[in-house]
Amino acid sequence: MAQRLAPNIPEGFKAVTASLGRPRSTKAQPDSEAMQASTAQDQMAPIMILEPADGCLCDQPVLISVHGLAPEQPVTLRAALRDEKGALFRAHARYRADAQGGLDLARAPALGGSFAGIEPMGLLWALEPERPFWRLIKRDVQTPFVVELEVLDGHEPDGGRLLARAVHERHFMAPGVRRVPVREGRVRATLFLPPGNGPFPGIVDLFGVGGGLLEYRASLLAGKGFAVMALAYYNYDDLPKGMDIFHLEYFEEAVNYLLSHPQVKGPGIGLLGISKGGELGLAMASFLKGIKAAVIINGSVAAVGNTIHYKDETIPPVSLLRNRVKMTKDGLKDVVEGLQSPLVEEKSFIPVERSDTAFLLLVGQDDHNWKSEFYANEISKRLEAHGKEKPQIICYPEAGHYIEPPYFPLCKAGMHLLVGANITFGGEPKPHAVAQVDAWQQLQTFFHKHLGGEERTIPSKL
């Protein structure tokens, strides 16, 4: 499994830093005591240097270093990010400067805190919400997340004199990506188009329970050369508020809209879905025409919680097994055993064998929302038994349910609207972060392979 946690900075960013020669950093005013104690070496107040200096896309790494510390000086680095609802996410880690008073997070191990070891992006993927069970979500993709970074003297997370600080912006739209709200027929969506005239390979992007219209994955993916349509399907605008039944005719209309778009290259489009969006993606690929390639992130091959309907066919939801719901030691519900198997309730098994779509199934092996690995294997068996192409399955050890774009912090637990309680979603922060970096790369490679198009990344000079 290719893992690309090592920073891979696009040339554009290096050029920005080098040519401007002014890294975005703020020097803290040294206090008088420290002034008296200063030696020739630490005359210069410490500065924090970020590369790229002017921010980057949210799926890209940032290099963080500190200069001008005392040799071997113990310091604590802190990161803070406030989401659009005002919820604060924080992380910190303890470090020691090298013999020259430098600290480079790509080379120096964290000695403890929110993470340990050499983790250049740990201050981002280890962010934790102050508000219990809150998940990091980007609502307005036209503005960046703003991360405040601080260097404090010593090894106390809350104490220590402030030595330096910097502000880092993480963007969601590469330069030239266009955001086009879609209200066509019944379709409610947002289409993201790469710069240029195309045509581009098209992808429909679906999120899960909660509904609404989340655009952040689609906007990032459009920066890789795809025309990506984030599709709402309930709890948005004039769409139904609830999710008792999903009619695939709605999704068919969306697929046809994208296929007939002058900047979308046919024949056939791609599909990306997570969780409930993965389940619906499997149903779309099974019943609808025009879907060439589908990436399903922790999806279910059983209908769950609602009926799926297409023309004169219905797939009823599997039974809920309430007595199999357990409590974790943290007082959360663990619902992973709470669904009847679609092998027992065959009528709830989405008929993937009807599909000619190429599948990539991305699985968090510690998914506690439902049994994603079991579902992936059953999809594979069913396709093979019907002489269809086997799916590509990638299993990520210790990864949980919400496999997001790179560097999003793990959402380990939260309110589940179908369950009506806080549940555990599984996953450990570090392996989950590794999975996210790899999954993001894998899904792009898969879509480029099956949908064609030039493999490219828009230079992200912001």
311-340 positions binding ligand PKZ, by CB under 6 A: 320, 322, 325, 335, 338-339
Query: Quick one: 396 exposed, middle or buried, by C-beta within 10 A (0-12, 13-18, 19+)?
Result: buried
**Sign of the torsion formed by the C-alpha atoms of 321, 211, 142 and 15:** positive
401 is catalytic: yes
Q: Which of 80, 111, 137, 393 binds ligand PKZ (CB under 6 A)?
A: 137
Q: Which is nearer to ligand PKZ, 200 or 408 (CB)?
A: 408
The answer to whether 117 and 110 have CB atoms below 8 angstroms apart is yes
The answer to whether 296 and 359 have CB atoms below 8 angstroms apart is yes
Rounded CA separation 104/67 (Å): 9
Rounded CA separation 44/27 (Å): 9
103-122 positions binding ligand PKZ, by CB under 6 A: none
Looking from the CA of 139 toward its CB, the CA atoms found within 13 Å total 8
Give the angle 305-310-311 at the CA atoms, nearest 5°.
145
Residue 299 sits in the site that holds ligand PKZ (CB under 6 A): no
390-419 footprint of ligand PKZ as x/- string (CB under 6 A): ------------------------xx--xx
Q: Which is nearer to ligand PKZ, 13 or 396 (CB)?
A: 396
Q: Which is nearer to ligand PKZ, 198 or 317 (CB)?
A: 317
Task: Give how many residues touch ligand PKZ by CB under 6 A.
Answer: 29
223-252 footprint of ligand PKZ as x/- string (CB under 6 A): ------------x-----------------
Consecutive H or E run containing 217:
helix 216-222
368-387 footprint of ligand PKZ as x/- string (CB under 6 A): -xx-----------------
> Whole-number minimum distance, CB 170 to ligand PKZ, in Å?
16
> Whole-number minimum distance, CB 58 to ligand PKZ, in Å?
15
> Whole-number minimum distance, CB 325 to ligand PKZ, in Å?
5
Q: 361, 318, 366, 364: which is closest to 338 by C-alpha? A: 318
Please identify which of the residues 219, 367, 372, 416 carries the catalytic annotation.
Answer: 367
35-64 positions binding ligand PKZ, by CB under 6 A: none
Q: Which is nearer to ligand PKZ, 22 or 85 (CB)?
A: 85
Distance of CA 315 to the CA centre of its chain: 30
367 is catalytic: yes
341 is catalytic: no
> Whole-number minimum distance, CB 262 to ligand PKZ, in Å?
30
Rounded CA separation 387/21 (Å): 60
SS3 167: strand
183-222 footprint of ligand PKZ as x/- string (CB under 6 A): ------------------------xxxxxx-x--------
Given strand 421-424, what is the order of strands in its sheet? 326-327, 333-334, 421-424, 413-416
Rounded CA separation 181/192 (Å): 9
Please identify which of the residues 275, 300, 380, 460 carries the catalytic annotation.
Answer: 275
* Token duo for residue 2: 């290719």
> Which amino acid, one-letter code, is at 365?
Q
The answer to whether 447 and 11 have CB atoms below 8 angstroms apart is no
Residues in the site for ligand PKZ, rule: CB under 6 A? 85, 134-135, 137, 207-212, 214, 235, 274-276, 304-305, 320, 322, 325, 335, 338-339, 369-370, 414-415, 418-419
Q: Which residues are catalytic?
A: 275, 367, 401
